[in-house]
């Protein structure tokens, strides 16, 4: 596939899947929320400027909000996550820094890097989102529990998805 189009597809496909299929997927009585559109956010190229990451995050969140009538909650959470993408990238950067060809995928950066980055960013996203959704101090501990559980299970899901996608690419 054309390398210039691939980043857009990587963002748009998870977004479409979230809107079409996963928007009502809340499993285990709310303890696992699948935010599939966040995979697209995680796959934004490492070299993308922080401002662009924010704008793309806001756009992705806004589309999900419009589709689910959640009124700003996903946009706000995606923006919060997008703010931390450059920081987490910097923290997890290899000693010699990123190569120009490095991609935020398991194939490019390894499973450990991918899992750590995915879990940290998803945890930040979910903590922000569930806290706002709870909006009450007496519910906030349960909300944080759900956020961390969802982040862990969604990280596992994304690892599986990446393994599947990568294996297909390898076959190709």
Binding other proteins (rule: CB under 8 A), the pick from 13, 46, 54, 115 is 54
Closest CA to 156 of 7, 24, 39: 39
Binding other proteins (rule: CB under 8 A), the pick from 72, 94, 110, 145 is 72
Under rule CB under 8 A, residue 71 binds other proteins:
yes
Segment lying near other proteins (by CB under 8 A), choices 3-11, 21-29, 49-57, 162-170: 49-57
Q: Contact letters (x/-) for other proteins, 131-150, by CB under 8 A?
A: -x--xx--------------
| Long-range contacts of the stretch 85-92 (C-beta < 8 A, 24+) | 85/41, 85/44, 85/50, 85/53, 85/57, 85/121, 86/50, 86/53, 88/117, 88/120, 88/121, 89/46, 89/117, 92/116, 92/117
Size of the site for other proteins (CB under 8 A): 21
Under rule CB under 8 A, residue 32 binds other proteins:
no
Q: Contact letters (x/-) for other proteins, 74-113, by CB under 8 A?
A: -xx--xx--x--x---------------------------
Would you report the helix, strand and coil content of the chain in percent, each value rounded to 5? 75, 0, 25
Min dist. Cβ of residue 65 to other proteins (A): 7
**Can you tell me the distance from the alpha carbon of 68 to that of 24, in angstroms, rounded to the nearest whole number?**
9
Nearer to other proteins, 18 or 57 (CB): 57
């Amino acid at each position: 596939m054309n390398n210039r189009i691939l980043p857009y597809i990587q963002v748009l496909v998870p977004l479409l899947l979230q809107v079409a299929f996963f928007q009502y997927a809340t499993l285990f009585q709310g303890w696992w929320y699948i935010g599939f559109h966040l995979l697209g956010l995680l796959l934004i190229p490492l070299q993308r400027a922080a401002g662009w990451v924010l704008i793309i995050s806001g756009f992705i969140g806004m589309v999900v909000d419009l589709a689910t009538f959640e009124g700003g909650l996903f946009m706000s959470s995606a923006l919060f996550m997008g703010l931390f993408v450059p920081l987490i990238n910097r923290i997890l950067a290899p000693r010699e820094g990123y190569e120009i060809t490095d991609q935020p995928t398991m194939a490019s950066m390894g499973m450990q890097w991918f899992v750590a980055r995915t879990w940290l960013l998803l945890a930040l996203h979910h903590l922000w989102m569930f806290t706002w959704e709870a909006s009450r101090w007496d519910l906030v501990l349960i909300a944080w529990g759900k956020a961390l559980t969802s982040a862990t299970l969604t990280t596992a899901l994304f690892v599986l998805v990446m393994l599947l996608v990568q294996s297909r690419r390898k076959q190709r």
